[in-house]
Amino acid sequence: MGVALKGQSGLWPLEDSLEELGQLARTAGAQVVGVMTQHLDRPSPKYLGKGKLEELRELRQALGAGTVVFDDELSPTQQKSLEEALGEKVLDRTALILDVFARHAQTREGRLQVELAQHEYLLPRLVGQWSHLERLGGGIGTRGPGESQLETDRRLIGRRIQRLKAALEAVRQHRARYRARRQHDGVPVVSLVGYTNAGKSSLLNALSGAGVTVRDQPFSTLDPVTRRILLPGGETVLLTDTVGFIHKLPPALIAAFRATIEEIQESDILLHVVDISHRNVAQQAEVVDQILHDMGLDNRPRVLALNKADLLLPSPRESAVRELANALHATQERSVIVSALKGWGLDRLRATLEDVLRDMMREPPRPAARHKARTTNMP
């Protein structure tokens, strides 16, 4: 279920955003049986208009759907009222992304980060968990076991959040020490960034033989993977795969993945991987650009890898590089058309990374202090 507000077109057409939501739902193990949209002149306190809410309730009953997923993050009050009106479980986009993350987290660090985001998402929604006891609220006769359990759960979750943050702080400090050793050794670091499912892990495998598991679904890689690769001139660089981005990325997830995101902030070069076969490639690239801007990485040297060329072209062409780079407003970046699957353009990509490193050596060194996030929705 998705809502578009009049005068707020945004980057994404509503139908495309819902198609992506369906892909997330299928990745989480759900079967999508219906899609509904509404266009509103102004936001509704209950997210949907009264008539559309009744229409959605009837559609859910007719289809036998056990869950309704909304394309935006719902407030706790909205979620509770929607569940009461629809008579079934309601999830928002944030909860769905959290579920996908939980399925794909493999390492201890990844699981800690996901659990922290889950608990911080759940904490303001605890009231709805105990509404069936009908003991909440003010006044005489309302202080019963429901409220006691609610307060107990709040304390337990609060304590767990503090323990998770402490554990992740230890992880962050360990990564900082590791980065300090890398900087002392003078090994350049290249971070793979990009929209989820753009093929970053496939490109890491193609360049380094890393053997990272690759799936054609969102967020198949959550945990950073670093491998050494050799450039044509003989220099060694570290290539790091990182978690992918997505539009409407929940701030809680960004904050929870602070330790991972710092890997990107400490890199020397950003290798931005885009899926040029996707019809929303320009919008996906703009989402990534905006997140990198929010992280203060506008001036970090960047190479654009136009991936999945095998799905678009019979063979790589120089003219296609220029056309696609212009379409992505990437004329200031070095662009290379590649196919991680077919091995197209990999030698040129290595050579381009080497050229960027040589240019960096000619420039004055960057200050020791790295860029920090500049907006409220970034750590």
The CATH number assigned to the domain holding 55 equals 3.40.50
Residue 203 has pLDDT above 90, yes or no: yes
Same domain, 238 and 345: yes
- Average pLDDT of 217-229? 78
Please give the pLDDT value at position 323.
Answer: 62
Torsions phi, psi for 122 (to 5 deg): -75, -35
Please give the pLDDT value at position 52.
Answer: 92
Locate 326 and state its tokens: 């212009």
Residue 118 falls inside a structural domain: no
Opening angle at CA 376, ends 370 and 379, nearest 5: 45
- Name the domain count of the chain: 2
Same domain, 54 and 202: no
- Average pLDDT of 143-147? 46
Which among 2-16, 144-158, 253-267, 278-292 has the top mean pLDDT?
Answer: 278-292
Same domain, 85 and 195: no
Please give the pLDDT value at position 184.
Answer: 55
Residue 134 has pLDDT above 50, yes or no: no
Contact call for residues 83 and 128 (beta carbons, < 8 A): yes
Same domain, 345 and 211: yes
Same domain, 193 and 85: no
CA distance 10 to 7: 9
State which of 57, 91, 125 marks the end of a domain: 91
Residue 157 forms beta bridges with which residues?
none
Instruction: Identify the sign of the CA torsion 171, 173, 175, 177.
Output: negative
State which of 41, 75, 91 marks the end of a domain: 91
Same domain, 195 and 81: no
Same domain, 85 and 200: no
Residue 169 falls inside a structural domain: no
Opening angle at CA 11, ends 285 and 3, nearest 5: 135
Residue 224 falls inside a structural domain: yes
Same domain, 329 and 200: yes
Residue 250 has pLDDT above 50, yes or no: yes
State which of 76, 91, 106 marks the end of a domain: 91
Residue 220 forms beta bridges with which residues?
none
Same domain, 85 and 192: no
| Domain limits for position 22 | 2-91
- Average pLDDT of 324-338? 67
Residue 243 falls inside a structural domain: yes
Torsions phi, psi for 11 (to 5 deg): -75, -35
Same domain, 85 and 217: no
Residues 6+ apart with CB under 8 A from 32: 22, 25, 26
CATH classification of the domain holding 308: 3.40.50.300
Residue 18 falls inside a structural domain: yes
SS3 category, 28: coil
Same domain, 78 and 214: no
Least confident range from 110-119, 190-199, 300-309: namely 110-119
Same domain, 65 and 207: no
At 324, the pLDDT band (50, 70, 90 cuts) reads low
Residue 164 falls inside a structural domain: no
- Average pLDDT of 59-70? 92
Contact call for residues 291 and 245 (beta carbons, < 8 A): yes
Residue 257 falls inside a structural domain: yes
Scanning the structure block, which residue is given the tokens 């960047």? 302
Residue 109 falls inside a structural domain: no
On the 0-12 / 13-18 / 19+ scale of CB atoms within 10 A, 118 is buried
